[in-house]
Amino acid sequence: MRVNCPNCESKAIITSRENQSAGVADLYCTCTNTKECGATFVTTIAFKHYLNPPSSDTARLAASLIRQLPKNKQLELLNI
């Protein structure tokens, strides 16, 4: 992950991280453009959503949905 300085847009270094909650953290950063900027700042990073859920979640959901079907539909899905 790359963080840029909000002042000069130069690359910044993450110096520490403080978790605020599950999926949300404050990143403490320092600008690498020390001659002209040298700003230190805090930015927040947060988990938003999955583009592709973990396979274990997908398999568990599929199994749950299949169990709710009548037996003949379950067998039909399995081509038996």
pLDDT tens digits along 30-44: 999 999 999 999 999
- Please give the Cα distance from 18 to 11 (Å, whole number): 20
Neighbours of 31 (CB within 10 A): 22
d(CA 46, CA 55): 22
- Check whether 71 has a pLDDT greater than 80: yes
Q: What is the pTM of this model?
A: 0.66
Q: Has residue 75 got a pLDDT over 80?
A: yes
Token pair of 18, please?
Answer: 């403080």
C-alpha distance across the termini of the chain, in Å = 48
pLDDT band at 59 (very low <50, low <70, confident <90, very high): confident
Instruction: Note the pLDDT tens digit of each residue in 3-36.
Output: 999 999 999 999 999 999 999 999 999 999 999 9
Structure tokens at 13: 């270094």
